[in-house]
Amino acid sequence: MATKHDTETVLERQTLKPPPMYQVALLNDDYTPMEFVVAIIQEYFNKDRETATQIMLSVHRYGKGVCGVFSKDIASTKVEFVLTHARKAGHPLQCVMEEV
């Protein structure tokens, strides 16, 4: 005859943590035109023109502007898209991801 203890799962419950999130940021340089940075933010981060301009001004004034926070795979993909687009256009724009 089985007891209640025998039929319960023996495995301990594990607490699952949400996956780490990463912020994607653009870094300032002295060569990439501001209008190009605004266009990149609008295209790859789906920001309206006003928000994209504010992020671009943060890049210009403070050296870095955060474009969004994403899971690792999405952040990595966005960084690659931005870098590829910038290189094809001949700009040295830098895009990085940092764990939040």
Confidence check: pLDDT of 89 > 90: yes
Could you report the per-residue pLDDT of 37-86, keeping only the tens digit for each? 999 999 999 999 999 999 999 999 999 999 999 999 999 999 999 999 99
30-97 is a CATH 3.30.565.10 domain: no
Boundaries of every domain in the chain? 30-97
- Averaged pLDDT for residues 27-41: 97
- Averaged pLDDT for residues 17-29: 96
Q: Where are the beta strands (DSSP E) in 1-100?
A: 21-27, 64-71, 94-99
Kindly give the residue spans of alpha helices, DSSP state H, lying in 2-48.
4-7, 34-45
Q: What is the pTM of this model?
A: 0.84
